[in-house]
Chains A and B, each alone.
Chain A
Amino acid sequence: QSALTQPASVSGSPGQSITISCTGTNSDIGGFNLISWYQQHPGKAPKLMIYEGSKRPSGVSNRFSGSKSGNTASLTISGLQAEDEADYYCYSYAGTGTSNYVFGTGTKVTVL
């Protein structure tokens, strides 16, 4: 099972919106709506930002939103803020084959 494909980096100015894509296959993203997104600041543990493709856990800002179309999931950050600068990873269930779950390659978000 190959990692889901994310852009290596995305940048934006404060207040702007950015979107991070996460591309998989019919065996993972396309086959299930079981996608989560994580934010990771340097040296810290990941933090759950989105689950079930578009749901936000309690305490996560509504500036973060998720969606899916076909084999691609997306995370949008609106009203970009300095504290949003971090690495972001998508994660998907991948069925009952050889690898049950798969992470994305990760995206570094830079706030200009």
Chain B
Amino acid sequence: EVQLVESGGGLVQRGGSLRLSCAASGFTFRDYGMKWVRQAPGKGLEWVSVISGSGNNTYYTDSVKGRFIISRDNSKNTLYLQLNSLRAEDTAVYFCAKCLYSGSDLPGYYYYAMDVWGQGTTVTVSS
């Protein structure tokens, strides 16, 4: 069974840091791009970051550039998101998701569809 399980969320003060993890199973992890998507309380979905299968290519939404770092360890089938300089507006449920198309270093436009999602982990930034 293809599965993604996030962990690492919690309550953190403004300006603090957290590292989220996403453990993958049931598919060849290194062959797929992986994405983080977040959802603030009562709000819509927002893409945060995506990383290619090899880890060589990364993309970020403007609001997190310079503060968040996406990475992966293909030997551990695990995706990470390092959250630094956290702000109140980063409060959200963070989902990891597997991109649909296989290929270790696809062009960025291939990462527009995500077919497997984790259950999410909640990050709360207190002021």
Chain A residues with CB under 8 Å of chain B are 1, 3, 32, 34-36, 38, 40, 45-48, 51-52, 57, 89, 91-93, 96, 98-106
Q: How far is the CB of B69 from chain A (nearest CB, A)?
A: 17
Q: How far is the CB of A93 from chain B (nearest CB, A)?
A: 4
Residues of B within 8 A of A52 (CB): 113
Given that A3-B44, A103-B47 are known contacts, is A51 also in contact with B100, CB under 8 Å in the complex?
A: yes
Residues of A within 8 A of B113 (CB): 34, 36, 48, 51-52, 91
Closest 10 CB pairs of A and B: A45-B117, A51-B113, A93-B112, A36-B113, A106-B44, A34-B112, A93-B109, A103-B45, A101-B47, A48-B115
Asked whether B9 is an interface residue with its Cβ less than 8 Å from the other chain, the reply is: no
Residues of A within 8 A of B111 (CB): 93, 100-101
Residues of B within 8 A of A1 (CB): 62
- The residue in chain A whose Cβ has the minimal distance to the Cβ of B108 is A100
Residues of A within 8 A of B100 (CB): 48, 51, 57
Chain B residues with CB under 8 Å of chain A are 37, 44-47, 50, 59, 61-62, 95, 97, 100, 108-109, 111-115, 117-120
- The residue in chain B whose Cβ has the minimal distance to the Cβ of A58 is B115
- The residue in chain B whose Cβ has the minimal distance to the Cβ of A105 is B44
> Are the CB atoms of B114 and A36 closer together than 8 Å?
yes
17 pairs, CB–CB < 8 Å, chain A vs chain B: A1-B62, A38-B45, A45-B117, A46-B37, A46-B97, A46-B114, A48-B100, A48-B114, A51-B112, A51-B115, A57-B100, A57-B115, A98-B62, A99-B61, A99-B62, A101-B50, A105-B44
